[in-house]
Amino acid sequence: MGRLDGVVCLVTGAAQGIGRGIVKRMALEGAKVAVNARVDDERLKQVVSEMGGHPAPADIADPAAVRGMVASVEQSFGPIEVLVCNAARMTMKPFLEQDPHEWWDQVNVNLTGHMDVVAAVLPGMRRLGRGRIVIFSSLWGPIGWENASGYASSKSALISLGRSLARELAPERIYVTIVAPGIIDTPQLQVDADDAGVSLEEMHRIYARSIPAGRIGTPDDVARAVVFLSTETARAFAGQTIHPNGGEIRGSM
Amino acid sequence: MSAQTTRTALVTGASDVVGFAVAARLEAAGFKVGRLQDAELDDRDHAIEAAGRLAGELGPISVLVTAPSLHDSAPFGHFDSARWNRLLQAHLGATTNACAAAVPSMVERGRGTVITISSWLAYAGVPGEAYFAAATGSILAFTKSFALEVAPKGVRVNCIAVGPLDKGVSPADVADTVMFLVDDGDFFVGQVLTPAAGAVV
């Protein structure tokens, strides 16, 4: 018996990395998982065939596409009880060198895109009379990061969005929580390695040195925290941010 | 669960509601639970002796949960030094003595989990609670530094700052959080988790 037996979940940005790990863990816990990705391609088909779940493609930066995707998930499975706002875009460049369109694109996807997803999913949660929303911030949300001003701004704003929604929605038994993962073993590490001009193995070692746990995290480390916050236990954590980051920062924001 | 995988936990403050709920939940999850009594935590050597005895009876300790059980507050200026020292001992003294007693064997085996229990008052601040907030706050600060010292040795230390128990937070919420950190919290180090049911955001 799983902790999410029969629960309808939607995970955004789930074609790879952490999102893919969440789909796997939720499916193992018995959930009916709608797997969102920007495009309906082989990668999405592969996640669904390997991890379980049902494809729900849509570019979350496109409000009409988001509404259509949510309507289609609801038509097949009923109202969404758990929403995981995981999709993110990140392009690293010094602030003054980054094209403003590229800078805003990150905010438009990560923050505004998820506001549209939440807005599309909420009426269903209200009909159901309960729900959980897990919002992804990042290690860089609370502390910022050089050459990541757009991404970090969006991820910091997502904490404030999560806290405010938590206050607003808890009386309706819709519990909003925030996860701020540290360095996790995802395809992003290859991008970081290429940017730094080192091998992937060397990138792992460089990151691991900065993490008290002595290793980078796995998608499953984060997925297990998301499952915890997807159950009714989320009531106790409404508005809280939790930090699976191996000890890299230990603040309370 | 086979005998081979039965794990042992030590819990302090099990005479109080939070420690009681945590100990009961760990037992329900199949742990053997040793309860360290408050009197055994007054003194470092007593604590080491008591933990050693419990480990001898129950097996090597893989989980330690420290739950201070003394609640005492008054507006600042109203404690004499004995009353303040008693409160600080019950929080920082008992927590550090329990860690000193249980963690060395975890370090030796290269694995273990410690969960210290503090209060939302430690960072929120409330008038009339300066003494209690300071005592619980010392646990937050201790936890973060101690976590960094033992993380490289395979021991994970985290803190639960319990939200207001009279505002929708239950001891069961704390027990749920303990079980999450024990079972699924491998990548949590030096963190403060705050089950506060929205009372503190």
ipTM of the complex model: 0.93
Q: Choose, out of A160, A184, A243, the residue to mutate when testing the contact with B (most B CBs < 10 Å).
A: A243
Domains annotated for chain A, with CATH where assigned, are 8-182+219-242 (3.40.50.720), 185-216 (no CATH)
Q: Of A136, A140, A151, A175, which residue is the catalytic one?
A: A151
The pLDDT value given to residue B68: 95
- Distance in angstroms (rounded) separating the CA atoms of residues B132 and B16: 16
CB pair distance less than 8 Å for A212 and B189 = yes
The pLDDT value given to residue B119: 95
- Distance in angstroms (rounded) separating the CA atoms of residues A60 and A12: 8
- Nearest-by-Cβ selection for A167 from B123, B169, B201: B201
CA torsion sign for A91, A135, B189, A144 is positive
Bridge partners of B155, per DSSP, are: B112
Three-class SS of chain B: CCHHHCCEEEEECCCCHHHHHHHHHHHHCCCEEEEECHHHHCCHHHHHHHHHHHHHHHCCEEEEEECCCCCCCCCCCCCCHHHHHHHHHHHHHHHHHHHHHHHHHHHHHCCEEEEEEEECHHHHCCCCCHHHHHHHHHHHHHHHHHHHHHHHHCEEEEEEEECCCCCCCCHHHHHHHHHHHHHHCCCCCCCEECCCCCCCC
Summarize pLDDT for A33-73 with one digit per residue, the tens.
Answer: 999 999 999 999 999 999 889 999 999 999 999 999 999 99
Extract the residue ranges of chain B whose pLDDT is less than 50. 1-3
Q: Is the pLDDT of residue A10 over 60?
A: yes
Q: Looking up tokens 């998301």, which residue turns up?
A: A226
CB pair distance less than 8 Å for B196 and A246 = no
Summarize pLDDT for A200-245 with one digit per residue, the tens.
Answer: 999 999 999 999 999 999 999 999 999 999 999 999 999 999 999 9
Q: Which residue type does B186 have?
A: D
Bridge partners of A1, per DSSP, are: none
For chain A, first and last CA: distance in Å?
34
The answer for A 156-215 residues in CB contact with B (under 8 A) is 163, 166-167, 170, 182, 212-214
List CB contacts of A20: < 8 A, sequence separation 6 or more. Answer: A14, A47, A51, A219
Average pLDDT, rounded, for chain A: 96
Q: Is the pLDDT of residue A81 over 70?
A: yes
The pLDDT value given to residue A221: 98
Out of 3.40.50.2300, 3.40.50.300, 3.40.50.720, 3.30.470.20, the CATH code matching B3-193 is 3.40.50.720
In the residue annotation, A151 being an active-site residue is answered as: yes
- Distance in angstroms (rounded) separating the CA atoms of residues A168 and B67: 32
Q: Which residues of B touch A218 (CB under 8 A)?
A: 187
The DSSP result for chain A, as a single string, is: --TTTT-EEEESS-SSHHHHHHHHHHHHTT-EEEE--SS-SHHHHHHHHHH--EE----TT-HHHHHHHHHHHHHHH-S-SEEEE---------GGGS-HHHHHHHHIIIIIIHHHHHHHHHHHHHHHT-EEEEEE--THHHH--TT-HHHHHHHHHHHHHHHHHHHHHGGGTEEEEEE---SB-STHHHHHHHHHTS-HHHHHHHHHHT-TTSS-B-HHHHHHHHHHHHSGGGGGGTT-EE--STTS-----
Percent residues over pLDDT 90 in chain B: 91
- Nearest-by-Cβ selection for B187 from A227, A238, A244: A244
CB pair distance less than 8 Å for B191 and A247 = yes
The pLDDT value given to residue B3: 45
Q: Choose, out of B111, B187, B188, B191, the residue to mutate when testing the contact with A (most A CBs < 10 Å).
A: B187
Q: Which residues of A touch B187 (CB under 8 A)?
A: 182, 213, 217-218, 221-222, 244-246
The pLDDT value given to residue B1: 42
The pLDDT value given to residue A195: 86
Phi, psi of A162 (to 5 degrees): -65, -45
Q: Which residues of B touch A240 (CB under 8 A)?
A: 193-196, 201
Say yes or no: A247 contacts chain B, CB-CB below 8 A.
yes
Exposure b/e, A159-179, CB count within 10 A at least 16 = b: bebbbebbeebbeeebbbbbb
Determine the residue of chain B that is closest to A170 in CA distance.
Answer: B198
The pLDDT value given to residue B5: 66
Q: How far is B201 from chain A (nearest CA, A)?
A: 5
Q: Which residue type does B198 have?
A: G
Say yes or no: A240 contacts chain B, CB-CB below 8 A.
yes
The pLDDT value given to residue A251: 76
- Distance in angstroms (rounded) separating the CA atoms of residues A180 and A135: 9
The pLDDT value given to residue A253: 52
CB pair distance less than 8 Å for B194 and A225 = no
Q: How far is B200 from chain A (nearest CA, A)?
A: 8
- Distance in angstroms (rounded) separating the CA atoms of residues A159 and A161: 5
* pTM metric for this prediction: 0.95
CB pair distance less than 8 Å for B197 and A235 = yes
Contact B92, B142 (CB under 8 A): yes
Q: Choose, out of A29, A224, A250, the residue to mutate when testing the contact with B (most B CBs < 10 Å).
A: A250
